[in-house]
Amino acid sequence: MSDGALFPTLAQGLAAFKAELQGDAGAKLAALPQADNPLRDLILTVLKAVLDALVWLEQALVKLAELAVLTDGMIATLETAGITLKGMGGLRAQDFPPELSAVVGPLTEATQLASQAGDLLTDFTDKLGVLPTPDDINLARAELEQILGRTPEPLLGSRPRDLQRLVAALPA
């Protein structure tokens, strides 16, 4: 998980919305009489707009998840490079073979520079912890897929299972 709480919070909000949709609120909406009812028409209009927004969000999260996988790989590579460079900084003059005694001074300097570069990379990758990880995004995607009826869910009796079925059950 990233240090940023945006996507876990989004997942929690979507889970709460799903619980309401599959709970009493969804059942009450599904049971609204179909007679000429302006409140029902308004609710249907709002639900269709919410459905459109959630479909857009689903598409955006798919693209973002693809980018997050690439970003996660890049961060792992930078972290590994930082650890390697910092490890080189731990070399001492006596760690070098005697054949290199003529160049121990420059090598020692190079190891100190490598250690500093490793510290810089470590600091940089620590700051990248606010970026969402693929797991962060997939939490939100999983909730969204259930709301949109993209994944199988247990039967909920007469209660709506997902937003698309609820909107379809309320024909205009």
Residue 21 domain-assigned?
A: yes
Residue 136 domain-assigned?
A: yes
Residue 12 domain-assigned?
A: yes
Question: How many residues in the chain?
Answer: 172
DSSP symbols for 87-115:
HHTT--GGGS-GGGGGGHHHHHHHHHHHH
- The total domain count for the chain is 1
Q: What is the per-residue pLDDT for 93?
A: 66
Better pLDDT: 82 or 151: 82
pLDDT in tens, 105-115: 777 777 888 88
Residue 165 domain-assigned?
A: yes
In the structure encoding, which two tokens stand for residue 48, read together?
């269709």
Residue 119 domain-assigned?
A: yes
Distance CA 121, CA 49 (A): 45
State the average pLDDT for the chain.
81
Q: Is the pLDDT confidence value at 53 over 90? A: yes
Residue 107 domain-assigned?
A: yes
Band (pLDDT 50/70/90 cuts) for residue 14 is very high
* 9, 15, 20, 23 alpha-carbon torsion, rounded to 10°: -160
In the structure encoding, which two tokens stand for residue 45, read together?
């209009």
Question: Range of 83's domain?
Answer: 6-169
Residue 132's Cβ-count burial label (10 Å; 0-12, 13-18, 19+) is buried
Residue 1 domain-assigned?
A: no
Band (pLDDT 50/70/90 cuts) for residue 62 is very high
Q: What is the per-residue pLDDT for 16?
A: 92
Residue 72 domain-assigned?
A: yes
